[in-house]
């Protein structure tokens, strides 16, 4: 019995320690910001300053009160716009029959909560044109640099490579010297028949 009470005391101490540490960590995480004391500024502002006076309406994608347009998680944590008197009046009208709302009012309510529709999120951006254009320009530039190097930097190819008679004589010399008999030129020559292997 004595050991059980010691165990309970130790367990409560450990749990209390963990809870205090988590509380400190959560408090520190709630104050994260892009400003830093070393770079000036007023220190670490509260997380509420990130979304201003916009209404927090849910958990969000990652549990942080921020707005993200995502197709795979279409429920942002905060509304897109801050509440104005006009939007407040529309929200009160929205609580009644929706048939009383005009199409423009419904769209205004939607735009107060969301920045873009699914069609706007998934619409092609045309970014591929910039990427393709940049790639083609880079390839063209590389080809022109190669041509310039070929004309003005490199010497002409030596006769041992361009003259067919010299190339043939060089290959014959390699065969006569039995160069690379395992995998090279000599391995493809049949010395008994005096011809290339099939």
User: What's the chain's average pLDDT?
Assistant: 80
Mean pLDDT to the nearest integer, 69-93: 89
The per-residue pLDDT for 29 is: 44
Q: Give the distance, in angstroms, between the CA of residue 28 and the centroid of all CA atoms in the same chain.
A: 27
83: Cβ–Cβ under 8 A, 6 or more apart, which residues?
53, 54, 55, 91, 112
Mean pLDDT to the nearest integer, 133-158: 96
The per-residue pLDDT for 25 is: 45
pLDDT at 143 over 70: yes
pLDDT at 141 over 50: yes
The per-residue pLDDT for 128 is: 94
Buried b (16+ CB within 10 A) or exposed e, 164-196: eeeeeeeeeeebeeeeeeeeebbeebeeeeeee
Looking at domain 48-122, its CATH class is mainly alpha
Which of 9-13, 36-40, 147-151, 172-176 is the least confident region?
Answer: 36-40
Give φ, ψ of 189 to 5 degrees. Answer: -105, 130
Q: Give the distance, in angstroms, between the CA of residue 49 and the centroid of all CA atoms in the same chain.
A: 27
Q: Is 0.75 topped by the overall pTM? A: no
Residue range 159-191, pLDDT digits in tens:
889 999 999 999 999 999 999 888 988 899 999
Q: Work out the burial of residue 58: count CB atoms within 10 Å of its CB; fewer than 13 is exposed, 13-18 middle, 19 or more buried.
A: exposed
- Is the pLDDT higher at 30 or at 20? 20
């Amino acid at each position: 019995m004595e050991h059980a009470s010691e165990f309970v005391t130790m367990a409560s101490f450990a749990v209390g320690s963990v809870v205090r540490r988590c509380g400190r960590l959560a408090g520190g995480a709630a104050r994260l910001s892009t400003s830093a004391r070393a770079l000036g500024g007023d220190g670490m502002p509260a997380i509420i300053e990130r979304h201003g006076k916009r209404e927090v309406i849910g958990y969000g994608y990652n549990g942080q009160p921020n707005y993200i347009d995502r197709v795979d998680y279409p429920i942002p944590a905060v509304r897109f716009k801050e509440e104005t008197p006009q939007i407040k009046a529309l929200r009160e009208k929205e609580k009644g029959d929706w048939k009383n709302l005009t199409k423009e009012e419904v769209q205004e309510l939607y735009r107060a909560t969301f920045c873009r529709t699914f069609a706007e999120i998934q619409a092609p951006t045309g970014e591929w044109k910039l990427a393709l254009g940049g790639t083609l320009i880079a390839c063209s530039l590389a080809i022109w640099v190669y041509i310039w190097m070929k004309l003005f930097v490199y010497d002409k190819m030596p006769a041992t490579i361009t003259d067919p008679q010299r190339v043939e004589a060089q290959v014959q010399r390699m065969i006569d010297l039995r160069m690379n008999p395992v995998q090279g030129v000599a391995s493809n020559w049949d010395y008994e028949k005096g011809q290339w292997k099939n």
